[in-house]
Amino acid sequence: MSTTPTHLAPQFDDAEQQQLAATLGMWAFLATEVLFFGGMFAGYGVYRAWYPPTWADASRHLDLLLGTVNTAVLLTSSLTVALAVHAAQTGSRKGVVRNLSLTILFGAAFLGVKAYEYWHKWHEHHVPGATFEWHEASPSGPAELFFSFYFVMTGFHALHMVIGLGILAWLIVQARRDRFDAEYYTPVEMTGLYWHFVDIVWVFLFPLLYLIDRT
C-alpha cells in the first residue's frame, strides 16, 4: 500500500474493511434499539387488545392534523439526511453542511410541534396521574393507560431525536473543519442510519397512536 489514509485505525486492513465494521456495529446497535422500542409496542398491543373501544376513544383525542404534518416533517428530515450522506459521498462539503442544517431545522420543528401537543394535553388534563380527567362514556382507567403509552413511547422517541440533534450539530462542526471527504465520511453515514431508524419508529407510532379509529 502506497499511502495509508490518516483516518484508518491500525486494526483494519483497509478503509473498506473499517467502513464495513462500522456499519455492522451500527446495525447491531440498531437491532438493540428495535427490541427496546419493540417491548413497548408489545405492551401497547396487549392493552389495545384488552380495551379496544376505550383506546379508540382516547386515540381520537390526539390532534390528527398535527400528527400528520409532523410525520411529513420527519420524513422530510430523513430525506435531507440522506441527501447529506449523498453530498458526503460526492465530496461536497457545502452540501453536507446545508443538508445537515436542514435536518436539524426539520427535527427541531417536529419537537416544537410535539411540545405544543404535550402542552395541549396538559391543559386538557389528559396527562396520566393525579390531574387526569376523562369525560367520555368509556371508563377512565383504560383511557389513562392509553395516554401513559402515548407519553412514554413518544417521549422516548423525542429523547432519541434530541440526542440525534446533538450528534447532527457535532457533525456540522466536524464538516466545517474539513474532517470528511469522499473517501471518509463514516460518521455522517452512521448518524444517517440512526436518524432513519428514529424515523421508522415514528412511522409505526403515528398510525398506532393517532389512527386507531377515525371513521
List 71, 103, 154, 191, residue binding other proteins (CB under 8 A): 71
Applying the rule CB under 8 A, the residues between 79 and 98 that interact with other proteins are 79, 81-83, 86, 89-90
Closer CB to other proteins, residue 165 or residue 211?
211
Q: How many CB atoms lie within 10 A of CB 163?
A: 12
Closer CB to other proteins, residue 4 or residue 122?
4
**Least distance from C-beta 19 to other proteins, angstroms?**
7
Helices (H), 4-139: 15-50, 52-59, 64-89, 93-123
* Candidate segments 37-45, 107-115, 146-154, 171-179, binder of other proteins by CB under 8 A: 37-45
Closer CB to other proteins, residue 173 or residue 203?
203
Cell of 158: 423525542
Q: Per CB under 8 A, does 4 bind other proteins? A: no
Cα separation, 200 vs 204, whole angstroms: 7
User: CA 204, 207, 212 angle in degrees (round to 5)?
Assistant: 135
List 8, 34, 111, 167, residue binding other proteins (CB under 8 A): 34
What CA–CA distances, in Å, run from 162 to 32, 80, 134, 215?
Answer: 19, 17, 31, 34
Rg (CA), the chain: 21
Cα separation, 11 vs 16, whole angstroms: 13
Q: What residues line the site for other proteins (CB under 8 A)?
A: 15-16, 19-20, 23-24, 27-28, 30-35, 38-39, 42, 45-46, 49-54, 64, 68, 71-72, 75-76, 78-79, 81-83, 86, 89-90, 139, 141-142, 183, 192-193, 196-197, 199-200, 203-204, 206-208, 211-215
